[in-house]
Structure 1
């Protein structure tokens, strides 16, 4: 994961059917945080910002990734769209300009 930016576009991986997608996302993030080389950042947009709320099990893994020094960022437009600014449990609200800068410097791995 070294040098990569994870672009999280959903609060699930694949279909959200019966919570399977949420479980797969949580497992993915658990494995990411165990890697010796961590990503440069995690940027959440679209439904991905919902993974930063207490309604998502992934928020626990994202908080731990953030504690390891990886910036976890939420698209401000998306946060405003879902009205969740006051319910984020981890991450920092950021703008699309930050993502563009990250994408210019790092390989982007899109998950969602």
Structure 2
């Protein structure tokens, strides 16, 4: 994961049953959290911003990744669209310009 930006474009990992996708997302983040090499950043957009709220257990792992020094961001447009700005438990709100900057410096690994 070193030198990669993880783009969480969904609140589920993969297509199919939503409950399974949420469990797989949480499992993925647990393994990222436990990995020796951490990603350069995690950027949440579209429904991925729900991972930053109590609606998803993923927010606990994202908060821990922040505490380990991994910057975590939520797309400003998406956070505003879904009305969750006051519900974020992890991450900072950032504009698309930051994602463009990050993607220019690092490989993007997309989860949708």
Normalised-by-shorter TM-score class: over 0.9
What TM-score results when the alignment is normalised by the length of structure 2?
Answer: 0.97
Task: Let me know the Cα RMSD of the aligned residues.
Answer: 0.9
Aligned residues: 112
TM-score, with length taken from structure 1: 0.97
For residues 66-85 of structure 1, the C-alpha deviation after alignment (integer angstroms, 9 at most, x for no partner) is 11000000000000000000
What is the aligned partner in structure 1 of residue 6 from structure 2?
Answer: 6
Asked if 1:36 corresponds to 2:40, the answer is no
Secondary structure of the equivalent of 2:6? Answer: strand
Give the 5 Å matches for 1:52-91.
52-91=52-91
Unaligned stretches of 5+ residues in structure 1: none
SS in 2 for 1:5: strand
**Is the 1:16–1:22 contact (alpha carbons within 8 Å) kept by the matching residues of 2?**
no
Unaligned runs of 5+ in 2: none
| CA distance in 1 between partners of 2:6 and 2:18 (Å) | 25
Structure 1 residue 17 displacement after superposition: 1.8
Structure 2: distance between partners of 1:22 and 1:57: 8
Q: Using the alignment, how far apart are the partners of 1:20 and 1:75 within structure 2?
A: 25
